[in-house]
Chain A
Amino acid sequence: MPNKHFSDWLRIDLHIHTNMSKITKEGDYKGIFSGDTLKQKMIDNNVGIFALTDHNIINVTAYNEYYSNYAPTDPLLLLGIELDIVVTMLDGSEKDYHSLLIFNAFSIDKVEDINYKLENAYTNKGLTDKKNRKLTISEIARTFPEEEFFFIPHAGNTKSIIDPYKGQIQNAQRMLLLMQSAFEKVPEKAIQKYNQGFNAVLRDEFKDKNDVAYIDFSDNHNISKYPCVHTGESGDDHSFYYVKGMKSFETLRLAFIDPESRIKSQSQYEEIKKTKNAIASIKIETHNSMTSNELYFSPHLNVVIGGRSSGKSLLMHIIGGKTDSIRTTTTDIYKDIVYLPNVKIKSELDGDYKDTTSIGSNIIYINQGDVVRYFEQKNLEDLAVKSSKAAEYRSCIEIFKEHKAKVKEHVDDFVDRYKECFEYGNRKYVLHDITVKHIISEKYLAELDDQLLISKYDVNADLLQTKGVIDETISNINILLNDKHCSFLEEEIDAVTAAKEVLKNALAKVCTKQEITLKRLEIINSVKDLISAINLEQSEETKARQLAIDTRNKFVDEITVRLRLYKSLSRAAKSLESFDYSITKKIILNEDVSLVLEVPKSDDIKTQILDGLNGVKTNQGLYHNILSLLRGTIAIKNFKNNQPPDLIKKIQSQLNNIYTNLEKPQDYLEYTDNETSKNKSPGYNSEKYLEIVLQNPKIEVIFIDQPEDNLGNRFIAKRLVKIIRDIKFKKQLFLVTHNPSIVVFGDAESIIIAENHNKLISYKQIVLEDKSAQKEICGILDGGEYVFHNRSLKYNIERILREDENHA
């Protein structure tokens, strides 16, 4: 396996006994212990770090044997012991518990030194009986004043640290919080209760950090049956725990500082390993602006750090450019590098390096400043394009334009009708007394009851209906004849065609009847005109009577015309005022975020038009107010005479906002929690957007170039880092960043440092558990030292010093 240069998972087992335990505990080992078997068992079981932890004694010979043949690829053996620790209880009696001490020691010299100190401690205490070796915690501290070790007490059922501290448990909790410690043999159901206990002695800002480490080891007493639990009598194999990092004491230190990110049980580890395909590595051949390199990526959090113009973003572009489902918008300066044939990529599932790899479509790729730019410049169209929704966005804009055209259509119809009514004028409808007198005079007059004739002969309405039925039937027959499901036989087609002919004949007859009807109506009108003309040629009285009748008829006709015009105006006004100009279209960018295009409804069209008129009655509809305008009882603001062109101008200006909004609708994001980006600051929206995108369970790989840009420090420290920690074992992350919190508190599995020396870009990989790398990170990232310091506060007296106690 290549050295991957990122923090991967290691099996650890820090509780293995040798046959030396028989010396200090009667019969406390089964079978024969052998150094060779031990080593082979560790290798066979892929154990990365282990410790020999005999009861109150160190098997120096076993360590000597292991270290004398140690190769760098071998599992790392750390010096350990399992001590009986005695506590004086409140009633004065003594009770003891067991705890592992795992030392930062992995050389024979160090083993001998610590063994010497331990044996001296027992000797000095006068404990000559090896089976009765017990020390207090103070004696341990005095015995190893300069040694760095982990304190891992049993906290389960047997020899638990809980028992001797009954009644004074908070003393034990405070002691443990100040030590580099973890807890062994804690039943899963007790963990929550233990954490609550620790919270009770912690200051508020240190509570609920999930930073108490619980871990289990094999406690093996029979190496030949390894990985059996204890002596192997139960037949159960040990379920391993994993820590993240390389084979070092520092790896364990970080694991116990940050167990949430760095310690996994077997089942948790298996869950993580279910992760889908991920980008595994890239290989860069020599290039005039880049050194050759091979970079291995963690399936979890990969961060790229470095100074200005060091090539951080370039690396993200290279990976993006070599991944088929990512559409990068690579700038010209990167183009010749990103698509270079001698840059190869490999996914976890690829057998070998390829020009382009395929991960799947659930990838988010966000360039530097993209997110805040969407909100600052209100450029959500760009976001739609980036989300491959450009066509949908354009189509929505077209719908808005069509909607605007509909508004204009209604307005045009309305003002045309107004114009007609205006031009028709306001008339008086007076039937003069003299006209009435002439009509009712008894002078002879030839008359024709044209209405009676028309009602008898005008069958045009019926004919039109019949014609419509025939036309529709013929049309339906034509459709059926071409319908593939009907599959008419030849003779059936002939019958249907014959039926069609019958209908056509019927249609011809109807048309003939229509012509006849029209001719009849023409004749009736002609006769009426003729009779009228004849009457006009009679005596003056008869003529006067005919003229009076014509005047009255014309009088009624004029009223009818005016009623028709106003009816049209009324319909147009009703259509316009009831037209809903508001419109909303939603484009789903992903299952958590939708881009909404919207022209919201503020004042309705009627209100906006009436706002341009003086003297309106707002409780009345548009038609009645326009009727008042035509009657001259109200006026167009800033115009005289209520002329149609003035009304057109006024309506245009009153509705201008609607037209503008429909031309360029407002857009915003709608989040799944019903929040929207409207009226929120760009910073808030960027945070919200990132939060949702990062937590989208369907997204499997995420690239973000400098997510911290324009985000609040509080959001980065409190939310972003937490989200990254929550998701990084479920998806692969690539973040270019300057922010030490993201790197350190995010607990990046892979840290890639970009460097640019004389325009030659190179990359190198470091891991957090490498102490020299920590210094390098501090040198690159502003505030790095502060962040590392804060992280180490886990073992700090400040955690348990309560403010009220300080004041006391």
Chain B
Amino acid sequence: MPEVTLSLTFDEVSKVITISGLSAAVVRIDYSADIDFTPLVESLLDSVATDNSFILQSTSTENHDEKDKLIAKTITEIIAKYNEVVALAPDEEA
């Protein structure tokens, strides 16, 4: 299964997370208030046909606030779930 590296970066000034490597277009998530993960999910739905698994490389959130850390953790979990799904054999999908 091909592995693709994703790059996750926080712009703490404009409060925008960018995820590149998923598709041709960079996925942007605004986290200034409510956080809409829909662009990430839609992008993953596109990728599900490729059978690629993703390795997430993120800038360290050690010095970030707790919100940043939670968002990073959530994205990491979503990507991990995605990787589990694409690794499933057809009879395990249901």
Contact = CB atoms under 8 A, between A and B. Distances in A.
Interface of A: 427-433, 436-437, 439-440, 552, 555-556, 559-560, 562-564, 566-568, 570-571, 573-574, 621, 623-624, 627, 631
Contacts of A429: 36-38, 40-41
Contacts of B34: 430-433
Interface in B59-94: 65-67, 69-71, 74, 77-78, 81-82, 84-86, 88, 90, 93-94
Contacts of A563: 41, 44-45, 48, 81-82, 85
A440 B37 CA distance: 18
Which 6 A-B residue pairings sit nearest by Cβ, starting from the closest?
Answer: A440-B66, A570-B49, A560-B81, A429-B37, A563-B85, A623-B49
Given A429-B38, A571-B90, 4 more contacts: A560-B85, A564-B88, A567-B86, A574-B49
Most interface-central of A431, A433, A440, A555 (chain B CB within 10 A): A431
Contacts, number: 86
A562 B49 contact: no
Nearest to A623: B49
Nearest to A631: B42
Contact of A552 (B41, B74, B88): B74
Given A562-B41, A568-B93, A430 B48 contact: no
B81 A621 contact: no
Contacts of B65: 440
Nearest to B85: A563
A433 B35 contact: yes
A440 B70 CA distance: 8
The B interface is mostly helix, strand or loop, or mixed, namely: helix
B25 interface: no
Contacts of B71: 431, 436
Interface string B13-37: 0000000000000000000011111
Interface of B: 33-38, 40-42, 44-46, 48-49, 65-67, 69-71, 74, 77-78, 81-82, 84-86, 88, 90, 93-94
Given A430-B34, A436-B70, A566 B45 contact: yes
B46 A624 contact: yes
Nearest to B89: A571
A556 B93 contact: no
Contact of A567 (B70, B77, B93): B93
B88 A556 contact: no
10 contacts: A431-B74, A432-B34, A432-B35, A437-B67, A440-B70, A552-B74, A556-B77, A559-B37, A570-B48, A627-B45
Nearest to A571: B90
B38 to A, nearest CB: 5
Most interface-central of B41, B69, B71 (chain A CB within 10 A): B41
Contact of B78 (A432, A559, A573, A623): A559
A327 B87 CA distance: 61
A440 B67 contact: yes
Given A431-B34, A431-B35, A552-B74, A559 B41 contact: yes
A433 B42 CA distance: 21
A567 B42 CA distance: 13
A114 to B, nearest CB: 101
Nearest to B35: A431
B91 to A, nearest CB: 11
A436 B90 contact: no
Contact of B94 (A560, A568, A631): A568
Contacts of A431: 34-35, 37, 71, 74
Nearest to B65: A440
